[in-house]
Amino acid sequence: MASITNLSLLFLISLSLLSLSHSLTCTSQKFTNNKLYQHCNDLPQLNSYLHYTYDPKKSSLSVAFVATPPKPNGWVAWAINPTATGMIGSQALIGLKNSDGSVVVKTYSIESYGPIVESKLSFDVTQKSAEFSDGVFKIFATVVLPELNGTMVNQVWQVGASVTGGVPDKHDFSPANLNSKGRLDLVSGMSSGDGGGGDRHRKKNIHGVLNAVSWGILLPVGIIIARYMSTFPSADPAWFYLHAFCQVSAYAVGVAGWGTGLKLGSQSKGVKYSAHRNIGIALFVLATVQIFALFLRPNKDHKYRFHWRVYHHGLGYAIVILSIINVFKGLDILDPEEKWKRAYIGVIVALGVIAVILEAITWIMVSKRKSGSTKPYNGEHNGDGRQQPLSQ
């Protein structure tokens, strides 16, 4: 009964952590034409992203706007407003599908809240094109901006569910739609919005941090505790509880990281990292099977104890290897500052050095015990604190 209660509690905690979900970062997005931009921003509303390069000498702004409309036949828009912070006065680039299915970018100077009419913008648009795949619009354009007072511009973005006669229909008026606006510094790359651009910047690394801490650090530490502390009779049963605490904590935090990964994928259908995703799914499945080892552990003298140890140890080492591989794949996708990758490498190297040292100490202790008259301790915990010899 206690085991069932503990298992239920563990899964309740895990499910609650699944609610931590955030949007995919623009730094992981790539384009079919392999074009690169100096800056990118995760816009704080509507799961939208802006990539751009600004040439102040030519007053030229090259942009790529990525967004998902509410429905496949909808539309997406990105605009600069030279005179205000809202929609009225904005100079918009709108991506939509024509009746023949072709994808185009149209320009609209938004002068009122009434029906909009395709028109020229207050500044030149030298290039424009659009793509649509997997439910995601990508707008590409190069514009020549008018003389700016500083480096800041007002940006507005939007998505809509339908197009009638080649004209975008009205969008929803949810808080996300109404707050899809902000300020953009063309030189520094910093942006702000009513949804909190700074908070969005912090959120984009949560998925990576959760997985690095859980699968990449806590799990290896738990294995080191079980393998080497258990050789010291005086550490029994403390080593067992430390090991269980590390592994259950790693699983709970890892489930949160896995859940954020699912959310990232569902919100960014046009961006796929198959290897990272597949390894992540495999890790979750293996770790879920592994967590049952805590509740299915037979007594020391049970006939299935040997089979349980093979399953428990084999899965444990496989999970650690896959975890470390996937953390590095995640780092390549997020592309953080080099110091973070070096820090993780330092942690893994340190754990490896500790494991090698403890392995040598363990073998020395085992050798001495074999040469002595007393039977050596096998590092098994029966649940009642009693020690068992290796020969049994």
At residue 13 the predicted structure's pLDDT band, cuts being 50, 70 and 90, is very low
Is residue 166 domain-shared with residue 295, that is, in the same domain? no
Task: Work out the average pLDDT over 60-66.
Answer: 91
| CB-based burial, 46-73: b 16+ in 10 Å, e otherwise | bbbbbbbbbeeeeeebbbbbbbbbeeee
How deeply is 78 buried, as exposed, middle or buried, from its count of CB atoms within 10 A (0-12, 13-18, 19+)? buried
pLDDT confidence bin for 230, thresholds 50/70/90: confident
User: Is 24 within the bounds of a domain?
Assistant: no
- What is the percent of the chain with per-residue pLDDT over 70, rounded to a whole number? 81
- What is the maximal distance between C-alpha atoms in the chain? 95
Are 330 and 236 found together in one domain? Answer: yes
Whole-prediction pTM value?
0.47
Q: Give pLDDT, residue 365.
A: 80
- Residue ending a domain, among 140, 171, 195, is 195
Residues in Cβ contact with 303 at an 8 Å cutoff, skipping those fewer than 6 apart: none
Domain boundary among the residues 132, 164, 195 is at 195
pLDDT for residue 204: 53
Residue 355, classified by CB atoms within 10 Å of its CB into exposed (0-12), middle (13-18) or buried (19+), is middle
How far apart, in whole angstroms, are the C-alpha atoms of residue 376 and residue 374? Answer: 6
- The structure tokens listed for 234 are 């005086």
> 213 and 184 in one domain?
no
Query: Are residue 181 and residue 214 in the same domain, yes or no?
Result: no
Do 270 and 339 have their domain in common? yes
Closest CA to 76 of 100, 52, 43: 43
Asked whether residue 289 falls in the same domain as residue 147, the answer is no
Residue 329 covered by a domain: yes
Residue 20 lies in a domain: no
139-158 residue pLDDT tens = 999 999 877 767 788 899 99
Question: What's the CATH code of the domain at 292?
Answer: 1.20.120.1770
Number of domains in the chain: 2
pLDDT number for residue 265: 66
- Min mean pLDDT across 11-15, 69-73, 292-296 is at 11-15
Q: Are residues 360 and 268 in the same domain?
A: yes
pLDDT of residue 96: 92
The most confident of 96-100, 110-114, 293-297, 375-379, by mean pLDDT? 96-100
Write out 271-337 in H/E/C secondary structure. Answer: CCCHHHHHHHHHHHHHHHHHHCHHHHCCCCCCCCHHHHHHHHHHHHHHHHHHHHHHHHHHHHHHCCC
How confident is the model over 370-378, as a mean pLDDT? 55
Q: Are residues 124 and 172 in the same domain?
A: yes
CATH number at residue 88: 2.60.40.1210
Nearest-angstrom CA–CA distance, 11 and 153: 47
Residues 366 and 217 in one domain: yes
pLDDT band at 4 (very low <50, low <70, confident <90, very high): very low
Spatial separation of the C-alpha atoms in residues 136 and 269, rounded to whole Å: 7
pLDDT exceeds cutoff 80 at 78: yes
Q: Which tokens sit at 247?
A: 């592994």
Residue 290, pLDDT score: 84
Instruction: Specify the pLDDT at position 390.
Output: 34
Position 363 scores a pLDDT of: 84
Query: Of the spans 86-100, 335-349, 364-378, which averages the highest pLDDT?
Result: 86-100
In a domain, 2, yes or no: no
Whether 389 is in a domain gets the answer: no
Q: What is the pLDDT of residue 7?
A: 40
Evaluate if residue 354 carries a pLDDT over 60: yes
On average, the pLDDT of the chain sits at: 78
The more confidently predicted of residues 282 and 231 is: 282
Same domain, 367 and 218: yes
Mean pLDDT of 266-280: 70
Q: Would you say 27 and 335 are in contact if contact means Cβ atoms under 8 Å apart?
A: yes
Query: What pLDDT, in 10s, does the model give residues 97-140?
Result: 988 888 999 999 988 777 788 889 888 888 899 999 888 999 99
The answer on 148 and 220 residing in a single domain is no
Residue 350 lies in a domain: yes
Is 182 in the same domain as 323? no
The predicted pLDDT at position 25 comes to 67
Question: What is the predicted pLDDT for the residue at 94?
Answer: 93
User: Hey, what are 239's tokens?
Assistant: 């080593």
- The residue count of the chain comes to 392
Domain containing residue 140: 35-195
| pLDDT on residue 19 | 38
- By CB atoms closer than 10 A (0-12, 13-18, 19+), residue 360 is exposed
Taking 60 as the threshold, does the pLDDT of residue 227 lie above it? Answer: yes
The pLDDT-based confidence of 257 (bands split at 50, 70, 90) is confident
Residue in 180, 178, 159 with CA at minimum distance from that of residue 170: 159
According to the model, what pLDDT value does residue 264 have? 66
- Is 228 part of any domain? yes
For residue 377, tell me if it sits in a domain. no
